[in-house]
Structure 1
């Protein structure tokens, strides 16, 4: 089973402001209500692994599968047989702001059931991210 969800928002903040928040995992709990803590075992770079503590608390392994500094990262969480991939992309807009897209793909048994729960806070997280980026 596969569940897909994607959301795009625009902001007056430049891509660098969004990227600064994304690439500093200590800020994630500030703007993502589902995240309590992230501990990476290395730099914010492709191949780095670590642990994410989600609200619950639920501790899950996390890995950075793709990192293109300044524009994109894809992280992967593994929860039993479920694999959750969250792709984050920021693009500049003509007015100096950004277009921010976050896409979630969940694969495994029960993906259709857990997907809406996993993505329920996505609009709140994206709004908080945009507010923080615009304030920086």
Structure 2
């Protein structure tokens, strides 16, 4: 497995605000600048499948591999490789939400996909997580 990039933010928004945005896949393009569209074929639960269309790329199927109270991991199924986005959400001792995202590739053709996608994903991971933070905090402020 090779890591394409990692990103981290701290936020005043509750963990549930982040999970709400991940579950509402129709809104992913609002905070993920590389996504043209995303849809889930069923409920936001572990094992559910969906598809997404990266800007400039082909439609890609994915599965929700892990979904717990502090982790959301989705795996895109590429030819000869799997692209994994692992999202970990914790609350620190001060009550601040900390979100960490790691993107990785695995499989016999991971090297090829790294050449195609690796630099782009690594370069935009922090930007997209910052945009998600802004969306989660704006939703939190609107509710308050």
Matched pairs, number: 135
- The answer for the alignment partner of 2:111 in structure 1 is 109
User: Larger % of helix: which?
Assistant: 2
* CA distance 1:4–1:57, change in 2 (3 Å): closer
Does 2:136 align with 1:133? yes
Q: Which runs of 5 or more residues in structure 1 are unaligned?
A: none
- The answer for the alignment partner of 2:92 in structure 1 is 93
- The answer for the alignment partner of 2:8 in structure 1 is 8
Following superposition, the deviation at residue 27 of structure 1 comes to: 1.8
The whole-number CA distance in structure 2 between the counterparts of 1:119 and 1:58 is 19
- CA RMSD, 1 decimal: 1.7
| TM-score normalised to structure 1 length | 0.89
- The answer for the alignment partner of 2:142 in structure 1 is none
User: Larger % of strand: which?
Assistant: 1
What do the CA deviations read for 1:51-85 (whole angstroms, capped 9, x no partner)? 111111421011111111x4211100122122101
| TM-score normalised to structure 2 length | 0.85
The whole-number CA distance in structure 1 between the counterparts of 2:78 and 2:122 is 15
Structure 1 runs of 4+ off > 6 angstroms? none
Q: Give secondary structure in 1 for the equivalent of 2:126.
A: helix
* CA distance 1:10–1:49, change in 2 (3 Å): same
* 8 Å Cα contact 2:26/2:37 also seen in 1: yes
1:59-98 to 2 correspondences below 5 Å = 59-68=59-68, 70-98=69-97
Q: Which runs of 5 or more residues in structure 2 are unaligned?
A: 140-144
